[in-house]
Structure 1
Amino acid sequence: MSEAFPGPHGAPASVRVPVLRLGDVLLVTLQGDLHDSTAQQLQDDLAETIVRSGATGVIIDISGVEIVDSFLGRVLAEIAGQTDLLAARTVIVGMRPAVAITLVELGLTLPGVHTALNTEVAIELLTGQAVSSRSGGLRRETL
């Protein structure tokens, strides 16, 4: 592992969030706080990987995130907007109840972001596979 040196605000300057490819879907797992430089690097890495790989979906696992503030909410919305412009869809998984409550209390909406309770359901959603009722977790609205 490479050594990380402190950047602005004490954040490690060389920390990168891994972007894993699962077929046509990219998987990102967020752990703990996301600093400004790390968030910008993640956005750049995702855009480059989507274009290079032709990925059609991005799953962002936030199960390792204890607290969502307005900064993280904005970053997630920006990632979703960016991936949408690159012809990919974004699904957030692993949202804890406290995180959902905080997002609502802060009045943060995540336009363009779908949610699923787990990665399996998110992959099914993004790849167009039928979602079985035993999987649970997919939130669909019908008119």
Structure 2
Amino acid sequence: MTERLHRVAMGLLVADGRVLLAHRHPRRAHYPDCWDGVGGHIEPGESPEQALARECTEEIGVAVTRWRALDPSVVRLGEDLELHTFVVDDWRGTPANLAPEEHDDLAWIAPGELGSLRLAHPALVPLITAALNH
């Protein structure tokens, strides 16, 4: 029996040729101790864009003002995870870790640093690369 489908919105904030990634807390049940984009579950009745805006406000304290869906905008990671990915290139506020129970670090990552990071999923490499080349 297949588990319930988890729909997730992820924002890749891009500035000065770098992408902002969040390090998932080692005590997280899913994808612990690795780097990931900013985001989270899409709530019932919420669009992926609404979830993106909400998660960026809750997790890093920024108001997203310009974004676009990455192509492809939806990626299936296994049978139970649907990832909606957005490039965010304008926002109000300074990113800060407002969810220390979820993330224990934030970092601006250059393309050449991706290979040295433990990412939440290998599929993130082409997504991050595409976001940086937008």
Q: TM-score per shorter chain, which class?
A: under 0.3
Larger helix fraction of residues: 1
Could you say which structure has the higher strand fraction?
2
Q: Which has the higher contact order (CA 8 A, sep 6+)?
A: 2
* TM-score normalised per structure 1: 0.26
Larger Rg: 1
